[in-house]
Structure 1
Amino acid sequence: MTDVRTTAHQVLVENGITRIFGNPGSNELPFLVDLPGSIEYVLGLHEGVVVGMADAWAQVTGRPAFCNLHAGSGTGNAMGALLNARYSRTPLVISAGQQVRGVIGMEGMLANVDATMLAKPLVDWAAEPADAQDVPRALAEAIHTAVGRRMPTYLSVPYDDWDVECNDNARLASRRSVTVGREPTAGQIRRVVDLVQAAKRPVLVLGGDIDTDGLNDRAVQLAERLGSPVWAAPSLFRLPFPNRHELFRGVLPAGIAPISQALAPYDLVVVLGAPVFRYHQNVPGDLLAEGTRLLQVTDDLAAAARAPMGEAFVAEPRAVIEALLGALPSTHTSHNHSIPDEPSCAEGGTHPEEVFAALRKRMPTDTAYIVESTSTNSSFWKQMDLRHQGSYFFPASGALGFGLPAAVGAALAHRDLGTGRHVVGVIGDGSANYALPALWSAVNLGVDVDIVILRNGTYGALRWFADLLDVGEVPGLDVPGMDLTRIAAGYDLPALHLPDAEALDELLAVPRPEGPRLLQIDTALTQP
């Protein structure tokens, strides 16, 4: 007979799991015994780093990522990162070790009390098998659900289950497959085509799912066929359209009134691969202007169901885009890409635009940027020229601590895929402190990544919000006296403090050494 652990390992292998991102505790050790050689264990020194690395790795590879966390405490440490993964719709499988079954009810030390509720509502599915024989099947369900629904899932397993002998029925779980199809019906396609062809002033609003599905080039063709302006959906976590294309209008502001105003000139708003909408700033107003109708196409039923207005079709955006391209006449109009203006300067310091101009000038055009420097968003979009799929990643729910581990995870993913693409993490000094152990992971994994720290000594985005909310000066907004290069040295990570953007430009002009490095530069305070 085979034990539950061996069968569970087979489930992982059969479903293409090649890495386990984890930070083990005592409850997890029995699961890790005799791990197959085809599965590599990626250690993170904090559970937020573990999930952040896995999130980016899964987004880049398009494959499910598997995390192993320590009971309830480890799960709690990972909650912020898990929130980001939920809103980026990352296929993430979270496993957590549970106390032995006989002690859970007594709330023994390290018992994960009410384990299935702990991760909700951040996961789409959560379970703790009622019997050891059900562990392999539940593990397979966690994987298939994460992939099929494109959402994180959570499985808690008592650690005395792993050594139980597995019966023949339980072993069948390792030989299953699940295929998901989301093709729209002919009637749905006809409805979408009719609406678009009848529109006199259509506009496209594209979400991060377009980039996730590799549809950027097809979205460009669709916009050009329509001659339609393109907005990126608000609260953007991936870039679905070249940001300097002449049809691109930018990222929609994240308030009700400004979105309505931006979309008012159009009679049909076609939202592809995005919720409607992820508002942020409280700027009340009409959801849609008079005479504007909205059509949403998404494969996320929950996003379609909760939208407050418009018509929704739950289907793969890919199929709808292809149908529209087939129905619209071909055009051969050439479209231009704008050239960024000269970067702004700041008195007594380096303007973030100068940093981004140097990156644009010196880094490969297909560089993948992991961005967690909210107060410099405006400067970033003014200077960058991003034309390739997978060029931009941002914490999907704004939970800080994403940037450093995501940069490491993305670099690891590109190494696994053999793409040769370089990864740059653009991280604010405030944000960096949420996930400093990721620096150790970068060194331990030896990934090629540049971590650019923009140091302004304050939470710049909060200062902007303080003005927006008219609250005046409040405590807790400044973080002076930090030198990330000295912290990096403690992790044995090569690091430099650059005096200005000119020094950064000179450094980037020469071939970079292999492995990770941290580059810190002092910047002036700017607004998002």
Structure 2
Amino acid sequence: MPDVRQATYDLLRSHDLTTIFGNPGSNELPFLAGMPADFRYVLGLHEGAVLAMADGYALARGGSALVNLHAAAGTGNALGPLTNSVYSHSPLIITAGQQVRSTIGQEVMLANVDAATLPKPLVKWSCEPACAQDVPRSISHAIHIANLPAKGPVYVSVPYDDWGQEAPPEARHLLERTTGTAGSLSAAQLADLAGTLDAAESPVLVLGPEVDAQYANDDAVRLADRLGAPVWIAPSASRCPFPTRHRSFRGVLPAAVQGVTNALAGHDLILVVGAPVFRYHQFVPGEYLPAGARLIQLTGDPGEAARAPMGQALVGDVKDALSRLADAVTAGRRPELPSLPEHPPAPSGGDRLHPAELFAVLRENAPADAVYVKESTATAADFWAQMDLSRQGSYFFPASGGLGFGLPAAVGAQLAHDDRQVIGLIGDGSANYGITALWTAAQYEIPVIIVILKNGTYGALRWFSKVLDAGETPGMDVPGIDFVQIAGGYGVAATSVRTREEFADALAAALRSGKPAVIEAETELTEP
């Protein structure tokens, strides 16, 4: 009979989980030793970067990723980036080593006391198997529950002496198990919703990250075209679910109650698809809905449906609902919307690049199918005004707002994409949280391009201090960081630029190289 370790590797292989992101400790060695040849181990130098790399990999490939952390300390280091995985619904299978089972209660060194509780309430499910023979079933349980709606990260702690125990005979059944969902709108629900949309005088669509995650962008375009309706992206956008140069596109809703209400004023029906209602940030209270407006939400997440403060919710498969709804509504009831105007002129910087200039250069020179992983929060308005995102899976942003996702996630996303160039757009404040991921990019020859927008301060925080009328506060500035030298120390070629021409040349060189590259761009301070 195979041991628990072999049974687990067989199980992981059956689910195409043959890439392991980790930073090993002593508790993990019995599992990793003699790793099968068809598995690959991607080493990160800090567990926060490890988790974020795995998240970017999972988001880009549209599937699960396997993470191996070190006991309590490694898990603790990963908790910050884990918050993004929760709100992006990333099905991360997180495993952690545990001390020898018989010694845990003594709280010996590296024992993870009450291990299953440590990652809560962030993870969707967490456990430490009751015995060695239950390890394969528990990991199978984790894989399936991570991928059932609403998707999310899970956590399994395994005592390291379990791996050498004999696996139970019934573990072989786990290799053939499948789980799936069959939830969709009933014919009556579909007909009622289509009729409601047809009857509306001025419907508007608000799309969220689940649309992009479910590969439903084209269905959203069909629905918008048939309705002749404008389209907004839901507040706190972590993905781009609609082409940004389509005639219906109106931008990203502000993350404030009154801001959303003001933007949607004049519409009598608001259809929110694949997004919470709503993920506000700035506390600007007001009426939740414009006068005379009705809100209907379509989501695959029962939690999002239950916690919304207003409106009607339908829980089901978002792609199926959008596709059937686009066929069911009556086309041509409203005049076609006018084409969007040209991109606004990008202002020229003084002795530094204006972020709008930088994004304009990207739009004009980067591959049309490039994937952007963005963690430069102070440049949001310029990004959406200048960029032309038309392909599925082209944009990822930290879903919880916590820093440290962007740079490692870009590395992970590029690892998942042999066919598309990934470009990380990272603020200089953000970059320091996950800078060690540059070493992984260099060692594994991952040809990601990292653009660090360097303005010497936490730009979004400065803007927020105005919103809160907080005045000048300490800890706002991060001067004196030389990212060219830092990148070189990790083995990544880097250059610093200050003008549009210099950035265009550096981008072209990075694209030609086929290697990881860092471009440090000295930029002006702007507001979100």
Q: Distance in 2 between matches of 1:133 and 1:508?
A: 53
Q: For residues 416-436 of structure 1, give each alpha carbon's deviation from its aligned partner in whole angstroms, at most 9, with x where no partner exists.
A: xxxx21111111111000011
Shift of 1:36: 2.2
Letter in 1 for 2:46: H
The amino acid across from 1:47 in the alignment is E
Deviations 1:116-157 (A, max 9, x none): 111111111001111111110000000001111311111111
Deviation at 1:333, TM superposition (A): 5.7
Which residue, 392, 395, 400 being the options, matches 1:397? 400
- Output the amino acid matched with 1:327: A
1:377 to 371, 377, 380: 380
SS at match of 1:489: helix
- 1:305 is matched with which residue? 306
1:335 Cα deviation (Å)?
6.4
Letter in 1 for 2:243: P
- Verify the 8 A CA contact 1:50 1:67 in the aligned structure 2: yes
Counterpart residue identity of residue 462, structure 2: R
How many residue pairs end up in the alignment? 524
Cα drift, residue 509 of structure 1? 4.3
The equivalences for 1:291-302 within 5 A come to 291-302=292-303
CA deviation digits over 1:139-183, x for unaligned, max 9?
000000111131111111111111111121344323322222222
Alignment match, 2:166:
165
CA offsets 1:289-321 (integer angstroms, 9 cap, x no match): 231111000111111111111110101111211
Aligned to 1:414: 417
CA deviation string 1:448-494 (max 9, x = no partner): 21111111110011100111100100000000000100001111110
Give the conservation status (yes or no) of the 8 Å contact 2:424–2:448.
yes
* Aligned counterparts of 2:340 and 2:518: Cα–Cα separation in 1: 32
> What is the identity percentage for the equivalent residue pairs of Structure 1 and Structure 2?
52
Matched, 1:485 2:484: yes
Query: Distance between the aligned counterparts of 2:94 and 2:496, measured in 1?
Result: 37
Residues 525 and 163 of structure 1, relative CA distance in 2, 3 Å threshold: same
Which is further off, 243-252 or 514-523?
Answer: 243-252
What amino acid maps onto 1:458 in structure 2?
A: T
> How far apart in 2 are the matches of 1:330 and 1:401?
45
Alignment of 1:404-443 (within 5 A): 404-415=407-418, 420-443=419-442
- 1:22 counterpart = 2:22: yes
Q: Partner residue of 1:327?
A: 328
CA distance in 1, matches of 2:274, 2:521: 36
- Matched letter for residue 168 of structure 1: P
**Residue of structure 2 equivalent to 1:386:** 389
Residue number in structure 2 paired with 1:156: 157
Corresponding position of 2:96: 96
Q: Quick one: which amino acid aligns to residue 124 of structure 2? A: D
Report SS of the residue matched to 1:264. coil
The aligned amino acid for 1:118 is L
How far is the alpha carbon of 1:264 from its aligned partner?
Answer: 2.4
CA deviation vs aligned residue, 1:196-250 (integer Å, no higher than 9, x gap): 1221111000001111111112211111110101110000000011112221111
Q: What's the counterpart of residue 119 of structure 1?
A: 119
CA-atom RMSD in angstroms: 1.5
> One-letter code of the match for 2:140?
A
Which moves more between the two structures, 504-513 or 386-395? 504-513
Determine helix, strand or coil for the equivalent of 1:370: strand
CA distance in 2, matches of 1:173, 1:390: 31
Q: Which residue of structure 1 aligns with residue 228 of structure 2?
A: 227
Structure 1 residues not aligned, in runs of 5+: none
Runs of 4+ in 1 over 4 A off after TM superposition: 330-335
Partner of 2:198: 197
Query: What code does the residue aligned with 2:261 have?
Result: S
Match of 1:139 in 2: 139
Structure 1 residue 26: Cα displacement? 0.6
What CA distance in whole angstroms lies between the structure 1 residues aligned with 2:415 and 2:114? 34
Distance 2:357 2:73 in 1: 42
Give the TM-score of the pair, scaled to structure 1.
0.97
CA contact (8 A) 2:227 2:331 kept: no
Q: What does residue 498 of structure 2 align with?
A: 499
- Match of residue 9 from structure 1: 9
Asked if structure 2 preserves the Cα contact closer than 8 Å seen for 1:136 and 1:171, the reply is no
Select which of 366, 371, 374 maps to 1:368: 371
